[in-house]
Each structure stands twice: as structure tokens, then as C-alpha cells.
Structure 1
Amino acid sequence: MKFLHIADVHLGLAPDAGKPWSSRRQQDIWDSFREVLAVAEREKVDLVLIAGDLFHRQPLMRELKQVNELFGGLTRTKVALIAGNHDYMHPRSNYRGFSFAENVIFFDREQIRGVELPEYQACIYGLSYWHKEITDGLYDALRPKDPAKINILLAHGGDAKHIPMSEAALRQNGFDYVACGHIHKGGQIIKNKAVMAGSLEPTDCKDFGPHGYWMGEVTKRGCEVSFYPIRKCEYVRHEIRVDAGMTAQDVEECLKRDLTKKEPYEKYHVILTGGYTPGAEPDTARLLELPDVTAVENGLVPAYDFAQLKREYRGTLLERYISKIETLPQNAVTKEALYYGVDAICQAMEHR
């Protein structure tokens, strides 16, 4: 049986609020979802597995109808869907009572149930969230009723507040494939058996690295599954090493040059490292205004010449502070204390 596995699509979310590309990112999420269903149709996939949080919040009725129309347009593919902690079965949820297309299996109950697929000698298991949090490990003791069938589990969770999952239990649960959702960083939990899909598109500027969908084939002889990136947007950590001789303008020009070399779909989370000349610290607000810069993390320390400062300020608090710190065991903590302490004393002296 050929399958395609996604999770955490978060339809309705507009990432990077306040950025000029935010509305584009919101549309990207819808476009990527449509693209995945088009892949399912083109590749003649038997089953699309959606492991929760299709929507970022309670779906609007028009959104449900739009999604259902897309599902119904699949000519040979079934869709199996659960509600996650974001689009959970709220008492007023539009999920409740909604009539999905005939090819859609929606696990709308709070308890785990299995749905048979006789044409594939298969059974799919799943449940929907009826609350934002579920702290019980509901999947750990679950076992398929008929081990002779191809058994698939749709699971949403993996942290303390959202159905914690044990890797040891996943290894021994008897399912041929476990399609997981909730954690936005995707990967194979157990190779070719249990996969955390990750979010289809990055939903936050700290969702680093590639995102996309998983596609594979499962039989009673085993499963093979591979990751396929969708690169409408990819957040990248981009480090700029600052030297003491660089001015704020130098740092800005360096970042501008780097931005011209990046891939069109990349957006930078800039990390400034190294040291700056006191009084010439880069202007992070200006850097944030550059195209495709989502965040600037300032890890710079002032590049003081401590020997020169001790000579220049002999007999003062500054000289005594530097000398005292230098007598302590030198490690990351004392180094940080030296830099920040000297910086504070220097700033206080400037404002006297």
C-alpha cells in the first residue's frame, strides 16, 4: 500500500506577523497543502495520512468545505485524518457533524478506534483530541487487533502535555507504520516504522531546516519511507563573525552581500558572534529591516583590551575588578563576567 504522510499543516496561520511577506507565507501553507494532494493524485497514492493540526485553530466552515473539496477531488486516494491539539474537537467545533467526502476517514472520537480497509487487507487506528492537552500515554499499550493485516497508527503527540510516546513502546507495538505529528522538527523516530512528519511548512522563524512530506510503501514484509522537501520557505541560521575592527556599517554590508547569495526560498535567522569595538556595536534594528531577515540574535561581546584598561585606570574600581576576575578559574562564566562587568563599569564612568 502506497502512502503519503503529513502533519501540522496549520492552515490559517500567518507566520512572521508584521513582516512584509507574512500574507505570502499564509498563502504558501495553503499552496503546499494543495501541492501535496496533487502529488498523491499524480503518484497514485492509496492513502494520505494527516496526523493532526491540519488547521492552526478551530476551522472555519468555509475552510472545511474548501479542504473537503480538495479531498473529494482525489480519484483513487483515501484520506485518514485526526484532529490535533490546535484544531481539537471543541464543543462548538465545525468538525462536529461535518460530512466529509466518501474517501475521507475522520477519527472524530476521543477513544482510539480502528477502521478497516478491506481492499488492502489493512486497518488504520487513531483518535482526535477533545482537549488542548492530553497527558496520558494513550498509544503505549495499544496493539492492533489482527496482526495479519497491515496495521497503521495515526498518532499526535510526543511531549509531556500531548500524549507522551515511548520509543521502546513504539518498537514493540505491532504496527507496521506509525504516522506521527505534533513536533515540528520531522524525522524518523524508528527507521521505516515510526516517523514524526514535522510541519509541512515552517510555522515559526525557529523552525529551522527543510520541511515537507513523507511518502512510502508498507506491506507485511516491511515499510520504506522517504522525505520530500517543499521549499517555499526555509529558515536558516546564518552566522556573521564580527571582528573588533568592523564598524556597524561593515556588518550591515557583510549581511547584504550574504543575502544576495542565498537561495530564493531561504530566510535568515542572523546570529552575530565575536566582538565589537565599544561604541561601534551593530544596529540590530537596521539589520532586521533588510529583506528576508526574520530575526537577529546578538551574541557579541565588547572587544576590550583589558591590559590597556588596567594600565589606563590604575588604582580605580575598573582596574581592581579586572585583576580580581583574572585571579579566578577561567571558564565561560568568568569570561562572561569579565566582559559584562567591565562594560557596565565603563558605561557608568561615561555617564558620570
Structure 2
Amino acid sequence: MTAPLKSCKTAADGLQLLNVSKTFDQTEVLHDIDLTVAPGEVLALVGPSGAGKTTLCRIIAGLETPSSGQCYMNGTDMTAMPPGDRRVAMMFESYALYPHLSVGDNVRSPLLARAKGGLPPTAGQHIEQLLAVLEIAHLSDRLPSELSGGQKQRTALARALIQNPNALLLDEPISHLDAKLRHKLRGEIRQILNARPHPTIWSTPDGLEGLSVGDRIAVLIAGRIEQIGTPEDIWLRPASVKVARLFGDPPMNILPGELQDGQGRIDFHCRSMTMTLPPALAASAKAIKGRAAFLGLRPNGLTLHRGDDQSAIATTVYSIESFGKYAIVTLITPPGDLIKLKTADVQDLKLGDDVGVRYASDQLLLFDGTTGRAAYVYS
């Protein structure tokens, strides 16, 4: 569960990017990025590998210069400001630890760099507490060469979190940890950030991680902001097929097809089925120019049906991945479309079984087949 949403009320609050673009060797990697992160807010920056997340963080930190656009911190233009004057703390995906310093000294290093007259008496205690939270207190005297990848990542994370910066940038901070530790530290880190006054950007390729840590989410794909919204907005109303495919476990099923006018109805037809759209979806279809469309089926809105049912989608069991309380079942339609669903109903289910799939009408979404943008009608 995330903290209550915070919002920037004026340009003088927090971190603001205006029309930021970046080009490397005539290749544009960021295009007209507009972002505002409020004081105390955690913005989850979600996107696949190569989307431009690290480049955007490096621009904010002053390690890269934007090709165009401006960066503001608390109303001050810092676009041309040297990195050392920005007081932006960044955790690098590559860790960037000092190889000759111990874990404890690596974490202490940014405090010493800014200390005037020595560190406060409580600094050592704060470092010990943070290392304990990240479960690396017992490694305090080890060198980076003596650490595993996950231990190095937590050391880099501690070095960023120990600071009191104007802004905090976490570039994939828990990506190399095991699932149990990732789950634990998401909550622990959020507790720490909730008490901080600075804006934070948490970069990750994992959509579910972004949903769990962000007050808001910015979806970055191919250097462009595809959607910005609350976790609820992103989950319930993805702005495009690209966004829909990033979120969920498993992600939403997307079937390409076309819209057909019937007698007082609108049908969605694809090679695997023909479906009469429910009223809400039929109203949304009017926003689509042309006939091409994508139908989105949420895996948790699908159910298996054994037996003859003309309203169900005919499929064959392609694979079963069991996770104890539930399983992810991949089905294949006769024409070859793959459909995934999440279910606990896998008793006696075997590979090659012929089964039907029913769908909940309130778990269906419609997207423009040409632009990929979502078609929504709001009441």
C-alpha cells in the first residue's frame, strides 16, 4: 500500500523537468519529457530495458546534459549546474562502489564529502541502523570484491539512503535481490522514504514493483512518457497496449482483430473468436477510427470451463506453471493465439486438454488497432 498522493502545487516545489530531450549520435533516446515530482513523493519510473530510464536519471543528477529542455529543483534552473552543486543522490544500477573502501566506509563516504568539522556523533548509529535494515550489518568491514551482487546492490542503496539530498534517484535498487528480500525491502525502503521531505524517483523495469512503491507512476517506453498516473489509474485504465503489456503477473492478453457492426450491436472479431461487446465497451468502440482494434483480456478475469459452451473461447492447455496457491495456465486457440490466465482451478488439468475460457465483461479493455491507444468512455 502506498502513501497518500502528494502533488506539486507550483513550479517552485520539488523536481520539475520541462521538455527534456536527449540525442546520442543522431539517435533520440529521450523525447520531450515533462515530469514533476513533489517534495516527499515517490515517483516510480517504469519501463523496459533501453527505455531511457538511466539516461533520464543521469540528466537529473547532472551526469548528462540534455540536448534540449530544462531541469528545475525547488524553482531553480539547474540544467547547467555542476553535479556537485545539485545535491542529488543517485544509486547507480552498476553500484559504482569504491573498491578500496569497506562497506561501512562506502556508505559513510558521501557524508564525509560534505562534512564540515567532522561527522555528527549520531552518524555512526544511523549507518549501523540502515545496514541492519538492509541486512548487511555483518558485512560492514568487507571490501566490495568480497561481496555478492546482491550485497553490492544493498551497499550502494545504503550509500544513497544515508544522505539528505534535494532529490533521490534509485536506479533499479532491488533488481538483483531474491524475491523474498525484494518483497521485504520494498516495504522497508518505503517507510524510510515516507519520512523524507525530498522527491524520489524509483526506476524499475518491473511493473508490479512500480505499482507497489510509487505514489504515482510514469511509464517510459522508447524514450517517451506513455502515461502518468496513480497505481490505480495505471492498473485499471492503461493508456495504451504498450502500458497494458508492462503490468500484471502475467500481463494482460492482447488479441488483434477488427470491429464489426451488427444489428444494434458491435462485435469484436479475431481469428480465435467473435464476441459481442458489452454496452460499456461498445460505447468505447465509437472512439476508434477505423475497424482495427485490440481486445485486452485480464488474466484474473478469465475462468476455465470444462464442457460444451458455445459462449466460451475454445482452447487447448499449452502449459501449466504452478505456484502453490495458484497457477498460471497458458492456453492456445486453434488458430494459434496464446491466452494466459491465473487460477487455482487446475485439479486434474493436463497438457493437451481441450477447455473453454469464459471472460468477465468488466475485465475487458479495448484499444485502437492503429494507434494502440486505449478507448475509454467515462461516466
The structure with the largest alpha-carbon Rg is 1
Greater strand share, 1 or 2? 2
Q: Comparing both chains, which one has the higher relative contact order based on Cα–Cα distances under 8 Å and sequence gaps of 6 or more? A: 2
Question: Do these two structures clear the TM 0.5 threshold for a shared fold by scoring above it?
Answer: no
